[in-house]
Amino acid sequence: MSIRYNENTKQLILETASTCYQMKIDNMGYLNHLYYGPKLGQNDMSYMFRTYDHGFSGNPYDMRNNRDFSLDSMSQEYTSFGVGDFRVNSIAASCSDGSRCAEFRYEGHEVTDGKYSIPGLPSVYDEGGQAQTLIVTLLDTAANIRIKLYYGVFEELDIITRCAEIINAGSEIVWLRKASSVCLELPFGKWDMIHFHGRHCMERQPERVPLFHGIHTIVSGRGMSSHQHNPFVILCDREATEENGPCYGMMLMYSGNHKTEIELDQFDSTRVVMGINDDRFRWELSPNTGFNTPEVILSCANGLTELSHRYHRAIRNNVVRGQYKLSHRPVLINNWEATYFDLNEDKIVSLAKKAADIGVELFVLDDGWFKNRVDDNAGLGDWIPDTNKLPNGLDGLIEKINALGLKFGLWVEPEMVNEDSDLYRAHPDWAMTAPNRAPMMARNQLVLDLSRKDVHEYIFNTLSDLLSKYNITYIKWDFNRPLADVYSHAAPSPRQGEVTHRYYLSLYKLYDRLTKAFPHVLFEGCAGGGGRFDAGMLQYSPQIWCSDNTDPISRLTIQYGTSFGYPVSSIGAHVSATPNHQTGRLTPLNTRGTVAMMGAFGYELDLTKLSEDELSEMKQQIERFKELEPMIHNGLYYRLSSMQESGHYFAWQFVSPDRSRSLLSIVVTNPLANSAPVHVRLKGLDSQTVYSVNGEFECLGSSLMNSGYTFPQLTGDYPAMQLDIVKVK
């Protein structure tokens, strides 16, 4: 059993294959956090905690004569608020009498087989029925607020999921102002935080910093998980490396506004609180109603590599759904950087013919295919093919594309609208705009208020009509601006603080309906590139366009940062033109192909302008990727270069699940004169197996992992090299 309760010690114990999570109900009924880490022989970890007088730390009333007992110094599973714990809280609410405090104590718990689900929200699922669920109920009897803490234990995956349900158990309205998904206490240790910041075209830049006393906040208030701050954070020992050292991961399965607070407090204890961003959040809880928080995926591991492997495995197998979960993803070409808005049927067919010749399997028609769409000033919302550009209509174009042996995909941005559109002229109130205020514009567009049922149905019907009428097997779903002027013309004033979360509840429902109605369609997520790259979106779109920056040298850092939490199979990666359209950088075709093979592989350039030699090389790239795809997408991924080494080179490795084959890739980003050779130690091989290395020599796996491999001198403009490592005996 993954979950046990010790009646004598009042202890709840969760166990995965290699980790243990312990909590305890104390004599006052508070739910204390005891331990999360590697499995230990010690059953009751409360011996680690000593109570003593923490001067000026308040004491609960029934412990007023015991200054050793204070919520302000206790490790808790989910904190009370306003009653003496002055650190970051898990929850905040206003009661009908105006009070803003609640003290939660244990009411009961239950254990069930299988994994809980969350109404309206994506979550890790349990197909094999191997998981178990623990539900712990806490109650404040004065405020009449009940909290159910959900724990999903996946023993073989070595992950624990958490979320909360907050229930109004009284007879008056409660206004919820903060509703976090998880509180995790690390009472001892010195920790570094690794987070993934960025901007448009430079997403998920890894940054490792030591915690200092105070509150570190990772936050997005942009109406999406954002280019700026990904909802994934790692806390690791200051000496931790890829191979060794305690590492804790916290990943929020949510695509909207999020917030992670990490406090190193006055007693050197660390608390992490993660969930929906509470800024401008206000949710009405009527009597006997509840609010469900998004899910957090927790894991702890020895080293960053092991932590990444656990997240990769969980997302590939228990987050992503549908027929493309573990199967072949078609190699595609997207016309955006080849034509931009200046497209027509002849250009598209010419490009498609070249693509078919080199082995591309899917053609994706990007922005500009619908009426009045000559630039980004008009057309969004009116998803009707432009017969000036496509005289035979979309069906005529698709017929020609299919005749070449290619499948057809389409770009849409269904959550957006231009002022210059028939939709906006008919329904201006469908756009998010604040009363008596000129709206903020971004890319000359507004956001449709998806919290409205009529907007939800319009988008569902529009996309359903497209997918029913045309032979479309792929959708690139874009989202090209943040949410601002957040206001729903269909919601009463007191409930405007619910709009952003209701938007995402509606979006998830929309995705759920469409993916179930059209299971043959591969949905790729996009938000100006990687602005909504999160585990919530991966429930519905098994791959996400990683960044609008297609420069391979920039992509090295972007994809490197992404790899800490998200599997390679989720990373949309394309070979583009040189000089690159975003950076102007010149790079060899071999380097561009090497980098794009670390993802869902494709092309984004004008093939009609390339030489026969370049087209021949691309054909070889496609053949090679198709052969290696099962290992690249479903094998183990290793980072062979560190953040410090990234100023000189990036190296990474794929290993097949049975360890019979491996692919090592390196790109030199800064060739140095008279430098020491690049030398790397491989990982993940079988130590006793003999491998052929690029067909040049044979070597034991133990030698490659312990002694390593020295690359020949790689010079020139961003040179790249790959090693094929194949089992001989």
208 falls within a domain: yes
Q: Tell whether 102 and 195 lie within a shared domain.
A: yes
Q: What percent of the chain has pLDDT over 90?
A: 89
* Catalytic residue of the set 77, 524, 534, 548: 534
Question: Residue 656: is it exposed, middle or buried by C-beta count within 10 angstroms (0-12/13-18/19+)?
Answer: buried
Q: Same domain, yes or no, for 621 and 657?
A: no
Q: Give the per-residue pLDDT at 65.
A: 67
Coil, helix or strand for 16?
Answer: coil
* Same domain? 660 vs 618: no
Is 70 exceeded by the pLDDT of residue 61?
no
The CATH number linked to 295 is: 2.70.98.60
Task: Give the chain's mean pLDDT.
Answer: 95
614 is catalytic: yes
Number of domains making up the chain: 3
Co-location of 629 and 657 in the same domain: no
| Per-residue confidence (pLDDT) for residue 350, from 0 to 100 | 98
Query: 447 pLDDT band (50/70/90 cuts)?
Result: very high
Residue 12 pLDDT greater than 90, yes or no: yes
How far apart CA 505 and CA 290 sit, in angstroms, is: 15
pLDDT single digits (tens) 218-237? 999 999 999 999 999 999 99
149 and 44, same structural domain? Answer: yes
Residue 63: per-residue pLDDT? 65
Tokens 């026969």 belong to which residue? 612
Please answer whether residues 569 and 541 qualify as being in contact, where contact means their C-beta atoms are separated by less than 8 angstroms: no
pLDDT at 55 over 80: no
Region 613-641: what's the mean pLDDT? 97
- Whether residue 301 is found in the same domain as residue 350: no
Shared-domain flag, residues 336 and 309: no
643 pLDDT exceeds 80? no
**Candidate list 44, 237, 419, 614, residue with the active-site label:** 614
SS (H, E, C) 476-521: EECCCCCCCCCCCCCCCHHHHHHHHHHHHHHHHHHHHHHHHHCCCC
In this structure, of 345-349, 389-393, 537-541, 647-651, the range with the lowest mean pLDDT score is 647-651
Question: DSSP code of 328?
Answer: P
0.85 exceeded by the pTM?
Answer: yes
For tokens 């712990």, the residue is 136
Give per-residue pLDDT as tens, 245-256: 999 999 999 999
| Inside any domain, residue 37 | yes
Which pLDDT score is estimated for 683? 98
> pLDDT tens digits for 552-607?
999 999 999 999 999 999 999 999 999 999 999 999 999 999 999 999 999 999 99
CB–CB of 1/132 below 8 Å?
A: yes
Q: Answer whether 126's CB lies under 8 Å from 133's CB.
A: no
| Structural domain span for residue 89 | 3-318
pLDDT in the model for residue 50: 62
Query: Is 445 a domain residue?
Result: no
Q: At what angle do helices 345-358 and 612-634 cross, to 10 degrees?
A: 70
Residue range 474-498, pLDDT digits in tens: 999 999 999 999 999 999 999 999 9
Per residue in 116-143, pLDDT (tens digit) is 999 999 999 998 889 999 999 999 998 9
How far is the C-alpha of 272 from the C-alpha of 102, rounded, in Å?
20
Which of 286, 318, 350 marks a domain boundary? 318
Contact residues for 71 (Cβ-Cβ < 8 A; gap 6+):
30, 58, 60, 79, 80, 83, 84, 85
Identify whether 430 is part of a domain. Answer: no
The number of angstroms, rounded, from the C-alpha of 491 to the middle of its chain's C-alpha atoms is: 30
Pair 277, 394 in one domain: no
- Cβ neighbour number for residue 457 with a 10 Å cutoff: 11
Quick: pLDDT tens for 27-46. 899 999 999 999 987 777 77
pLDDT at 646: 72
- Confirm whether 129 is domain-assigned: yes
Tokens of 311: 């997240």
CATH of the domain at 694: 2.60.40.1180
Domain membership flag for residue 639: no
Count the alpha carbons within 13 Å of 476 in the hemisphere toward its beta carbon. 24
Which domain-ending residue is among 273, 293, 318?
Answer: 318
